[in-house]
Amino acid sequence: MTLNYIQNNKDNIFKEWLDRLKEDSDETITNVILDQNFETYGRELVELAILKISGKQDEYERQSENFSDRMVNLGWPLRFVVNALDIFGDVVFDEMVKDKYIRQENELKVMHDLNHWLKAMNSEIINDYTDSWERTIANQKIALQELSAPLIPVFEGITVMPLIGMIDTERAKQIMENLLQGVVKHRSEVVLIDITGVPVVDTMVAHHIIQAADAVHLVGAKCMLVGIRSEIAQTIVSLGIDLNRIITKNTMKSGVEAALEMTKRKIVPLEG
């Protein structure tokens, strides 16, 4: 009966639903509603609820996943979707009362049915949302890992590791691994670590760099730290960090020149 009622009064319910959404919305939600495509998507959400209520579970699941993905992409807050569903339930009930479909003897049943459907739909939508977020985070993690500690051979025996951004424990581990593997693989004599793009060098970052340099020494190569900006140099001194065991240069250019010298080569201009 409830299903029949909703299907017959779909337009009316949709209009009422939209009005109520506008009534009790805050700024984030108003932004969603002001979107010109909102009506289309809103209708879809209502159709989805009807699918759910009519018990076409397969069809519903297919559309719901698709719908959630799009909502996440559009930046609809989860709070909004959940709230919108809640309101949908209220609207249906209130309209049914208004049209005298609900009498004392079936009131509880209608309420129970509505609750039952919408609750299930709610948890499914939350699941889809979190799935989508988790996927995004997992992908970003992989992307970050790929960027985290690249080792580039530039000359015979000389490799460079440019570091950009924050260095956390996970990344420090990767830096160490990639450095040691790379030194062996490229038969490096000198490795340059470039920290031009590292915003803050605190004791932990310094500690990891010192450890990496020590490890590089152990496998028979030399480690050079380049790209130390003047403000970083001053904070390192204030912190009282001893980097004397590592060769340091202020730019990558002077680092490469020093590395060439250490391997008994130099860059000369062509004659003629």
231 binds another protein (CB under 8 A): yes
204 binds another protein (CB under 8 A): yes
Q: How far is the CB of 223 from another protein (least distance, A)?
A: 17
184 binds another protein (CB under 8 A): no
CA distances from 250 to 194, 225, 244, 269 (A): 9, 8, 14, 23
CA distance 117 to 259: 70
Short-list 27, 68, 23, 78, CA closest to 44? 68
Residue from 107, 156, 202, 214 binding another protein (CB under 8 A)? 202
H or E stretch covering 195:
strand 190-197
Rank residues 86 and 134 by Cβ distance to another protein and give the closer one. 134
Q: 96, 2 in Cβ contact below 8 A? A: yes
203 binds another protein (CB under 8 A): yes
Give one DSSP letter per residue of 252-268, joined into a string: HHHHHHHHHHHTT----
Q: 172, 210 in Cβ contact below 8 A? A: no
Binding mask 153-172 vs another protein (x if CB under 8 A, - otherwise)? -------------x-xx---
> Which residues between 246 and 265 bind another protein (CB under 8 A)?
none
Q: What is the three-class DSSP state of 216?
A: helix
197 binds another protein (CB under 8 A): no
CA distance 76 to 31: 9
Rank residues 207 and 217 by Cβ distance to another protein and give the closer one. 207
- Among the candidate windows 29-37, 131-139, 152-160, 201-209, which touches another protein by CB under 8 A? 201-209
Binding mask 110-149 vs another protein (x if CB under 8 A, - otherwise)? ----------------------------------------
Rank residues 37 and 169 by Cβ distance to another protein and give the closer one. 169
- Among the candidate windows 35-43, 147-155, 215-223, 229-237, which touches another protein by CB under 8 A? 229-237
| Unique residue bearing structure tokens 């490795």 | 191
Rank residues 104 and 169 by Cβ distance to another protein and give the closer one. 169
Task: Determine whether 4 is exposed, middle or buried from the number of CB atoms within 10 Å of its CB (0-12, 13-18, 19+).
Answer: exposed
- Binding residues (CB under 8 A) for another protein: these are 166, 168-169, 199-204, 206-207, 210, 230-232, 234-235, 238-241
